[in-house]
Amino acid sequence: MIRVITIDREYGSGAQAIAKKVAERLGWKLWDQLLTSQIARLLDCDCGTVEKREERLDPVVYRLFRSFMRGSHEGSLNAPRLKIVDADCIREVAERVVKEAADQGNSVIVGRGSAYYLQSRVDAFHVFIYAPFESKVRRLRAEGNSEKEATELAETVDRDRADFIKQYFGVEWPDRHRFHLMINSELGEEWAVEAILNGAALLQKLQGSEALSSS
């Protein structure tokens, strides 16, 4: 029984809108912004702080500072008074929240390493959504970004995500063999939604057939 759908994505591919429609069609809970809110609540910080650091590594200068604070005598004295919200602690809390969302079932989970944290679950269907570069830039411009801003976002956000996945999972993002389905969103949101729903239903049917044949 498929109870979880994870949706990883290229930035600007329109995956958020697709994930929302999939969740609505199934009547499932959407874990996208809700994930960020839950992580922020557990870390006792604002959502903006989490959004700036999730699915990316901390800057080199900050990592050096953190190492100093954790390894120095002064840092150990001040540690109880410091609330450091960095990539490491966000990743740890994100893993916890993603796994709790999966345990609840009937969940559509967007990004945050969910396809990698939940790889061993047989009740999870993993999707990756991509789009041609020009299509991503057009979509980002439609959201109010300038041509320069849209181009920079399309180039840098995915590079940050790739670095994050490489650091914490030791694989090259998106590590295609981890996904049941990869979709080009330029074919249209409705087409993508139908492909995801049909793919999840087919996997569930195949799992049922395998269970019967082995009994």
- CATH number of the CATH domain containing 12: 3.40.50.300
Q: How do residues 71-90 score in pLDDT, each as one tens digit? A: 544 444 444 444 567 788 88
Per-residue pLDDT in tens (0 to 9) along the chain, 215 residues: 999 999 999 999 999 999 999 999 999 999 999 999 999 999 999 999 888 888 887 654 444 434 444 454 444 444 444 456 778 888 999 999 999 999 999 999 999 999 999 999 999 999 999 999 999 999 999 999 999 999 999 999 999 999 999 999 999 999 999 999 999 999 999 999 999 999 999 999 999 876 655 55
Q: Is the separation of the CB atoms in 108 and 196 below 8 Å?
A: no
Q: List C-alpha distances in Å: 100 to 35, 37, 79, 87, 105.
A: 11, 14, 29, 20, 9
What are the structure tokens assigned to 83, written together? 């609330």
| Number of compact structural domains in the chain | 1
What are the structure tokens assigned to 80, written together? 């109880």
Instruction: Count Cβ atoms within 10 A of the Cβ of residue 43 and give its class: 0-12 exposed, 13-18 middle, 19 or more buried.
Output: middle
Q: List C-alpha distances in Å: 85 to 17, 41, 43, 78, 158.
A: 29, 12, 7, 15, 22
Domain extent for 133: 4-214
- Cα separation, 150 vs 28, in Å, equals 31
